[in-house]
A and B are shown apart, each in its own frame.
Chain A
Amino acid sequence: MSSVSAGASRSTLQRFLGGYGQEIVVLLSIVALFIVVGFVNPRFLSDTNINSIFAGNAYIAIAAIGMSMIIIAGHIDVSVGAMIGVIATIAGTLAVAGYPVWIAWSVPILFSIVVSAGTGALVAYTRIPSIVVTLGMLSILKGGLISATDGAWISNMPPEFMIAQMRPFGIPSAVYFMVALTILAALFMRYTDFGRAIYAVGGNMEAARAAGINPERSVIGVFALHGLFTGVAGILFATQLQVIQSTVPPNLELTVITASVIGGVSILGGTGTVIGSTLAAILFACIGSALIFLNVSAYWLRAVLGLLILATVLADMARRRRAQ
């Protein structure tokens, strides 16, 4: 409980390490994974594999950015997977029906923003835990999707619609999206009042109110923003393969939430960065891929994820207890 009195100001490096501890751990894990697995099986380092790791999972990283904001604000959204499925289906249907591609892209994104903001309003004003509201949302979206499409696959989408498959300068466009959105979101979270309000609301709701922040409006705002990221993720998901399966990708919400948590976002709210969640999403993709290249059954992937969440949460609790 003694005050820190070492040096008036720490060096820039120290500050950086202190602020991004978890992110650095995740980054080093990725590097270590590449070295070790690449050593055991060099094919792991092939262009094709690396491309598929990054491009194939960019949508998860993008969804995890929005999820991180939600969790930093002290909430959670378990309907994100179902929402991505719905967005993909709406987009694909519009594209096949012959609408201009910008409509096929933007209408589902708008839908996602509106629905998510509505969820946020429900959470903010009724004080019902977000897990329960989004659990209800999950079943509405999932059931609605399956009963509307009957599980029929969508194919024959126009080539100009397939944005995730475009490769400007030889790099999959999904990677551009992932990098750009991560940087934008990181800047937004750090350099705008709204970004800081998200941290404040998640950290201490009453203190936020006393500091002149409107917590309800902030919660609705952060849900709307999350809707935007989910929307973009949904479009990338829709366009990365030649068919859209019109189902909810299994356990997607869990992967997204885990990426946020492992990336250093405290599940109790108030702290974390979006860079961490993107890195963690990449780490998962690497782990999944590595299991295959190491001849370990991919069926263990989720157990590994579960253990990772549990370990991270326990470490977070221990850290908070020490801090008190």
Chain B
Amino acid sequence: MNSKDVERADGATHAHALPIALRGVSKSFAGIKVVTQVSFDIRPGEVHALMGENGAGKSTMIKIMAGLHQADEGEILINGQPVRFASPRDAHAAGIATVHQELLLFPELTVAENIFLGQTPKTGLGTIDWQAMRARARELLDSLDSGDLDIDQKVASLSVGNRQRIEIARALAQDARVLIMDEPTAALAEADVQRLMAIVRSLRARGVAIVYVSHRMPEIFALADRVTVLRDGHHVATKNVSEVDEPQLVSMMVGRAIDRLYPAKQGVDGEVILELRDVSYRGVIRGISLKLKRGEILGLAGLVGSGRTETALTVFGITPATSGQIVIDGKPEHISSPEAARDLGIAYVPEDRGQQGLIRSQTIEDNIALANLKRLMRGFMVDAAKVTAEARKAIERFGIRARGPQQLVRQLSGGNQQKVVLGKWLATNPRILIMDEPTRGIDVGAKAEIHQLMRKLAGEGMAILMISSELPEVLGMSDRVLVMNSGRIVGEFDRQAATAEAVGTAMTRSYSREDAA
């Protein structure tokens, strides 16, 4: 009740017109606060950009607004009225629709039906009125300048851009007043990006409020009216886009001074151990050439979907190169499987720890043994004693906090799970270590430990290829930075030249036609 009075003081008409306002919202997961006291408003007919690094709390905020998570503290006001969303349905009812990154569609149903499922138009008999449904679908898509979409087509055969337009149409069919778009351009081709931006503008003209999450600076400056920046779960500022420039936004997002936190380089670089010559995989990565030296940490920067992980997967043999050459120690090698990569001394610490890195239902020692079975045998059997000894070694070496080698991995914290993955791969005695988002979802202390460890390994002669979406990590850890954009390498910076502005610009620029680097 108190807050209502405050609104009044601000101007009652204004508060009532706000389609959504957040007041002091906090949220914790497993005791870790991911969002702290965040407040901002979304006005009708504005494009409101939500920015921040990975882990800044953007996706948590989106999920709270969409009814997927419930805030621990604070409140959500819809038209000035406090509400509580128990489920996505409640959010829909309040006029909030979300276009998720993983589009929630039914591949085997038609475009028209995907738009209206759950709220189909009915005839007088209470049956589905297909004619009305198709007509309204047609109308909706036409209003989105998507008249070329066939409403009777099955969604399975449509491109990502088209699917996204269907999700947007679906939101409009629900009379959404707020449309949340989570990195809508991450997986889009350039032509589709332009189309999407046109659609967003026309929605704004109709008075729909759009919460637009994106890392891409050009889009923000071309589209957004206001921008809210989050950092480490805190609200940094909400500004009119006309009042800020790109370097200001970057420094708001990054915030802290970068260099001090990261360990200094030890030793000197050795000879080149891994070389990619014009490597491509289908259309996903194109003409990648790079050299990695012993003792070097090479940072691979870029937005999600820019081809960084895809490059790693190709080197690791998950998606073997379709053209070009991979040279290891001066010898061209054909890497057709992860097994082959491992036997060549390549280790890959994947991005998705839970799905790709670990078998969470198994024990620490089982996980560590999995990539090392050949070495841990006696005769034709796996030697249980060697397995346990190997696990103990890893626990000690990396300071894994666990009850013992037989503890289940899923009971460990994120940082300790990551150390188990590292333990598994370092036990294979690799010469090349690829680390994909090495500190994602890990608390600050464990993060520093992993950074120290990477430096130490490099100091001992390990060649490390690091992929990271956190700019400070890229800048702080890398001896050299390569920037990827749209499946290509578009920039190379040595330690001095690699500033947040330079790397950030290369990451976010749109490369429509010109080939870079």
Contacts and interface: CB of A to CB of B under 8 A. Distances in A.
Interface residues of B, number: 33
Given A10-B152, A199-B108, A191 B157 contact: no
A109 B211 CA distance: 54
Interface in B91-135: 92, 104-109, 113, 117-120, 127-128, 130
B150 A211 contact: no
A2 B89 CA distance: 33
Interface stretch (B158-166, B302-310, B355-363): B158-166
Nearest to B117: A211
A204 B127 contact: no
B-side interface mostly: loop
Given A3-B161, A9-B151, A323-B156, A193 B108 contact: no
Given A196-B113, A212-B89, A204 B105 contact: yes
Interface of A: 1-10, 15, 18-19, 187, 190-193, 196, 199-200, 203-204, 206-208, 210-213, 266, 270-271, 320, 323-324
A207 B92 contact: no
A320 to B, nearest CB: 7
A203 B149 contact: no
B266 interface: no
B245 interface: no
A228 to B, nearest CB: 19
A75 to B, nearest CB: 16
A-B pairs with the 4 shortest C-beta distances?
A271-B108, A211-B118, A191-B127, A207-B104
Contact of A4 (B107, B138, B150): B150
A15 B162 CA distance: 19
A62 to B, nearest CB: 23
A4 B166 CA distance: 14
Contact of B159 (A2, A193, A266): A2
Contacts of A203: 106-109
B150 A10 contact: yes
B147 interface: yes
Given A4-B157, A8-B147, A193-B120, A210 B104 contact: yes
A9 B151 CA distance: 7
Interface of B: 88-89, 92, 104-109, 113, 117-120, 127-128, 130, 138, 147-154, 156-162
A324 B92 CA distance: 29
Q: Which of B106, B120, B147, B160 has the most CB of A within 10 A?
A: B106
B107 A323 contact: yes
Contact of B117 (A6, A196, A206, A324): A196
Nearest to A266: B108
A32 B152 CA distance: 30
Contact of A204 (B89, B104, B120): B104
B138 A200 contact: no
B109 A3 contact: no
Given A2-B159, A193-B128, A211-B117, A9 B152 contact: yes
Name, among A1, A2, A208, A320, the residue most crowded by chain B CB atoms within 10 Å (CB to CB).
Answer: A1
B159 A1 contact: yes
A215 to B, nearest CB: 12
Contacts of B157: 4, 323
Given A3-B162, A10-B150, A270 B118 contact: no
B106 A270 contact: yes
Most chain A beta-carbon neighbours within 10 Å: one of B128, B150, B158? B150
A268 to B, nearest CB: 9
Given A3-B158, A10-B152, A207-B104, 7 more contacts: A2-B159, A4-B157, A190-B128, A196-B109, A203-B109, A204-B106, A212-B92
A183 B119 CA distance: 25
Contact of B149 (A2, A3, A190, A193): A3
A272 to B, nearest CB: 9
Contacts of A212: 89, 92, 118-119
A210 B167 CA distance: 12
Contacts of B154: 323
Contacts of B138: 9
A142 to B, nearest CB: 34
A243 B161 CA distance: 62
Q: Quick one: which of A187, A190, A210 has the most chain B CB within 10 A?
A: A210
A3 B152 contact: no
